[in-house]
Amino acid sequence: MRTNFAFLCDAAAQGAEGKISALGIGISQLHAQQVPVQRPQMVLVAQIGFDADEAGTKQLSVRLIDADGGNVIQPVDGQIVFNAPDGALSPVAQVMLEFALVTFPQFGVYSVDLSIDEQSIASLPLEVLPLQPSLA
């Protein structure tokens, strides 16, 4: 298995033919005047390529962790089905997971980690930084 792409964004939806539309792609920093700070919404989007012999149901785990590896929210665990249509040369599976009202307790580095069958597929860093005063 391999990650074709993975990112955090403001919003995402899956449309016709499995295409993903996303807004605000590439969230990697949040700026706040003070902490704790709450992010109203963000979405993890990932596309995972696999070989036909890897098809089947797999365990999916998503964690949002702080710099010490502690959970910021309860881990999301579930199953994902990797379907390989007949004749597909490059089958893919897609993941879209919305995070709502996440509270970041302090400034620092966080990470959104995606694993399939306990194998890390993607790790997306997310920094929470103090808002810098603007120079007028």
Tell me which residue has tokens 């962790």.
65
Q: Residues of 61-92 as b/e, b for ≥16 C-beta within 10 angstroms?
A: bbbbbbeeeeebeeeeeeeeebebeeeeeebb
Q: Does residue 81 fall inside a structural domain? A: yes
Length of the chain: 136
How much is the pTM? 0.90
25: phi then psi, degrees, rounded to nearest 5? -65, 140
Number of domains in the chain: 1
pLDDT bin (cut points 50, 70, 90) of residue 134 is: low
pLDDT bin (cut points 50, 70, 90) of residue 105 is: very high
Q: Does residue 80 fall inside a structural domain? A: yes
Q: Does residue 135 fall inside a structural domain? A: no
Q: Mean pLDDT over residues 49-63, rounded?
A: 94
- List strand residue ranges (DSSP E) for the chain, in order: 2-9, 11-14, 20-23, 29-32, 37-49, 56-66, 76-82, 92-104, 108-116, 119-130
- 94: domain CATH number is 2.60.40.2550
